[in-house]
Amino acid sequence: MALWSVPLLLLAGALLDPKYIGPVFPFAAPAEIVSAKFSPCSQGNSPACVIDGETFRPGDRTIRITGIDAPDLVTPKCPVEGALAQRSADRLLQLLNAAPFEMVAHRLQMQDRHGKRLMVVRRDGDSIGSRLIEEGLAHRYMGFKFSWC
């Protein structure tokens, strides 16, 4: 195989893998605009709530933000992870409540193995997941989890 074809194959693989690049035409499902007041899911049965730093519920669906891994809020492996998980969930709550946002699914990977809908979440073209990564409240998900401890 010619050496020049390797970068093309890597680019094609990245376009097909939503962990690395968000959905682009023709792989992007139609965008969905969400305008809701979110609260923590632990505070009752709100129709819109945040479960943790990467997962939320707008209505009866559970959405996991594609491409990020936030600390585990339910079963943290150490006190540092527990504290960071709470900060991550609180920050996601703030970001979702700041203004309406859009969710876009990648047609080739619309659910995770737990049945959660996978979505890129953006406001004005900026990824909310990337924002959490930049603020140190999530890692880029690369197919495996990093330790928070």
Q: What is the reported pLDDT for 1? A: 52
Residue 24: pLDDT over 70: no
3-state secondary structure at position 58: strand
Which DSSP symbol is given to 54? S
pLDDT tens-place string over residues 99-110:
999 999 987 777
Which DSSP symbol is given to 75? S
Structural domains in the chain plus CATH codes = 5-140 (2.40.50)
Mean pLDDT of 116-137: 95
Q: Which two tokens stand for residue 133?
A: 């990564």
Neighbours of 63 (CB within 10 A): 21
| CA–CA distance, 56 with 140 (Å, rounded to integer) | 18
3-state secondary structure at position 44: coil
Mean pLDDT of the chain: 86
pTM attached to this predicted model: 0.83
pLDDT tens-place string over residues 79-101:
999 999 999 999 999 999 999 99
- Dihedral sign for Cα atoms in the order 74, 139, 145, 15: positive
